[in-house]
């Protein structure tokens, strides 16, 4: 069986602590590193109830989302809640590993899972039919400074006015529509040129989570956006699902690439044709000069050059326009190199025009470049997580596994986000 230290190391590889926010405390926070583990209890918070549950299930390790030690312990006594939980863990020979903001920020982690889960039903319908709605939530975090706690707003939904939003929060504080709003001390706008930062400072012992929930309810920190995907298809407006829109778009891009390739091919062939004539002329420059000198006028010179070197009219005109500076060895080499490059380009463009597969590869390459150039992370979140989790009913998981097969299932991730621990599951 794996030891606590081995499981902690395994989780560190999968969910690096480097992803956590500066204020956070993650990793192996309490326990016995060398103890072997047969069962793991996965919870949202390490409460006294969770500790008792772990003991009843004969678990050796608790993995939680929220840290069991968040602020520095100044006293280790049973009359302080944090210290009391630590003492209970040690008395029960239990270890605690916490994965908080690092699991949130992990690609494919909690934030991703929740966004996919919450938006699953609504977005799936919108993407399938072209019609639906989603809720967009502000980027909100809780910050702790000693005994003081603050709600920090770093991003707000699209089209929401920051000044009006902060005024609304201040009005709710004064109106006291909900009793919890009385615990708001002040609302401060700390935004600067580096970005938005609005701080709702709370009074001591205020229930920050409850106030957050109420602010989402009564303000535009969470708004609903309708999805109505209408586009021109076949010359007519049409409501389409995502796959149909993508199909039209990709076919259009392929058509653009095909037309562009044909145009570039014609220009490349024209230029290559001229270069072939110029190279013939510079390689026979003495005879070219003699023909031009002995000709009565330009049309005659053009005719004589065409007859002597089997040049086209376009090539003959290019030879007549040739500057003396182009007769140096370096310039002749440049002409030959340019011609060789054009021949490679002509071959490439001809292949693209004749192959749907190559056209699609160009579409993929160009879209990938656009993604690299313009992509950025979501600034606001998709709301409704609590409703989704409540609907699904995943609350608490127990994992029994050896080190080599230890993993977090989709259910485990959802369990981490459950607000209440009402049952346990044993997963073989």
Beta-strand relationship, 148-155 and 198-202 = antiparallel
pLDDT tens for 81-139 read 888 889 999 999 999 999 988 888 786 677 666 655 555 567 677 878 888 887 888 88
In this prediction, residue 115 carries a pLDDT of: 56
Give the pLDDT score at 428: 24
Share of the chain above pLDDT 70, in %: 84
**Residue ranges per structural domain of the chain:** 4-106+393-427, 130-231+377-382, 241-374
Quick check: 418 pLDDT over 60? Answer: no
pLDDT for position 112: 63
Q: Average per-residue pLDDT in the chain?
A: 82
Distance CA 112, CA 408 (A): 14
Q: HSE of 282 in the Cβ direction (CA atoms, 13 Å)? A: 22
Q: What's the average model confidence in pLDDT over 70-90?
A: 84
Most confident stretch, 155-169, 173-187, 327-341? 155-169
Confidence of residue 396 (pLDDT cuts 50, 70, 90): very low
Q: What is the pLDDT of residue 343?
A: 95
Confidence of residue 357 (pLDDT cuts 50, 70, 90): very high
Give dist(CA 426, CA 428) in Å, integer: 6
CATH for the 241-374 domain, from 3.40.640.10, 1.10.268.10, 3.90.1300.10, 3.30.460.10: 1.10.268.10
Span 4-106+393-427 CATH architecture: 3-Layer(aba) Sandwich (3.40)
Which pLDDT belongs to residue 393? 36
**What's the CA gap between 274 and 315, in Å, rounded?**
5
pLDDT of residue 149 exceeding 50, the answer is yes
pLDDT at 225: 84
Give the rounded percent of residues in the chain with a pLDDT score beyond 90.
45
pLDDT of res. 392: 38
CATH of domain 130-231+377-382: 3.30.1360.40
CA nearest neighbour of 70 among 18, 26, 39, 38 = 26
Strands of 131-137's sheet in order across: 222-228, 131-137, 381-382
- Is 417 a residue whose pLDDT tops 50? no
- The pLDDT of residue 240 is 92
Structure tokens at 108: 């494919």
Beta carbons of 185 and 202 less than 8 angstroms apart: yes
pLDDT value at position 413? 33
User: What's the whole-number mean pLDDT along residues 254-262?
Assistant: 95
What 3 state SS string does 363-412 have? Answer: HHHHHHHHHHHHCCCCCCEECCHHHHHHHHCCCCEEECCCHHHCCCCHHH
Q: Do domains 130-231+377-382 and 241-374 have the same CATH topology?
A: no
Confidence of residue 263 (pLDDT cuts 50, 70, 90): very high
First to last CA, the chain: 14
Q: Is the pLDDT of residue 222 over 50?
A: yes
Given this model, what pLDDT does residue 121 score? 62
Report pLDDT for 113: 63
pLDDT band at 416 (very low <50, low <70, confident <90, very high): very low
| pTM attached to this predicted model | 0.51
Lowest pLDDT segment from 80-84, 227-231, 332-336, 350-354: 80-84
pLDDT mean over 397-409: 30
* Rg of the chain taking only CA atoms, in angstroms: 35
Which pair of tokens denotes residue 130? 């072209």
pLDDT at residue 79, as a whole number: 80
Between 237-251, 282-296, 343-357, 411-425, the lowest mean confidence (pLDDT) is in: 411-425
Check residue 114 and give its pLDDT.
Answer: 60
């Amino acid at each position: 069986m794996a030891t606590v230290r081995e499981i902690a190391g395994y989780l560190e590889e999968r969910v690096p602590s480097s992803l956590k926010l500066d204020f956070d405390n993650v990793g192996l926070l309490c326990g016995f590193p060398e103890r072997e583990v047969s069962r793991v209890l996965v919870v949202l918070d390490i409460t006294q109830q969770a500790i008792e549950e772990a003991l009843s299930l004969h678990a050796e390790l608790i993995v939680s989302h929220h840290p069991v030690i968040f602020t520095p312990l100044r006293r280790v006594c049973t009359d302080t809640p944090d210290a009391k939980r630590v003492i209970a863990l040690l008395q029960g020979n239990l270890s605690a590993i916490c994965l908080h903001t690092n699991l949130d920020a992990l690609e494919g982690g909690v934030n991703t899972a929740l966004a996919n889960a919450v938006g699953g039903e609504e977005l799936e319908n919108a993407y399938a039919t072209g019609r639906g709605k989603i809720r967009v939530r502000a980027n909100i975090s809780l910050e702790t400074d000693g005994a003081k706690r603050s709600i920090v707003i770093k991003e707000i939904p699209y089209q929401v006015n920051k000044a009006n939003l902060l005024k609304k929060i201040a009005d709710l504080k004064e109106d006291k529509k909900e009793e919890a709003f009385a615990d708001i001390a002040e609302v401060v706008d700390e935004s600067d040129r580096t970005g938005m930062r609005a701080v709702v400072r709370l009074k001591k012992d205020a229930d920050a989570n409850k106030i957050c929930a109420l602010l989402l309810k009564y303000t535009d920190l969470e708004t609903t956006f309708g999805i109505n995907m209408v586009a021109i298809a076949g010359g007519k407006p049409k409501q389409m699902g995502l796959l149909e829109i993508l199909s039209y778009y990709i076919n259009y891009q392929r058509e653009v690439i095909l037309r562009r390739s044909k145009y570039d091919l014609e220009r490349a062939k024209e230029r290559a044709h001229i270069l072939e004539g110029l190279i013939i002329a510079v390689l026979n420059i003495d005879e070219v000069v003699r023909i031009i000198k002995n000709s009565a006028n330009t049309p005659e010179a053009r005719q004589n050059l065409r007859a002597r070197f089997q040049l086209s009219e376009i090539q003959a005109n290019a030879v007549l326009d040739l500057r003396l500076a182009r007769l140096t060895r370096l310039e002749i080499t440049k002409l030959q190199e340019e011609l060789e490059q054009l021949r490679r380009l002509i071959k490439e463009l001809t292949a693209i025009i004749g192959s749907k597969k190559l056209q699609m590869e160009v579409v993929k390459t160009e879209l990938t470049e656009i993604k690299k150039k313009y992509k950025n992370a979501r600034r606001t979140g998709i709301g409704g997580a609590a409703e989704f989790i409540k609907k699904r009913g995943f609350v608490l998981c127990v994992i029994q596994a050896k080190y080599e097969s230890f993993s977090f299932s989709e259910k485990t991730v959802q369990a981490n986000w459950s607000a209440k621990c009402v049952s346990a599951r044993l997963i073989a």
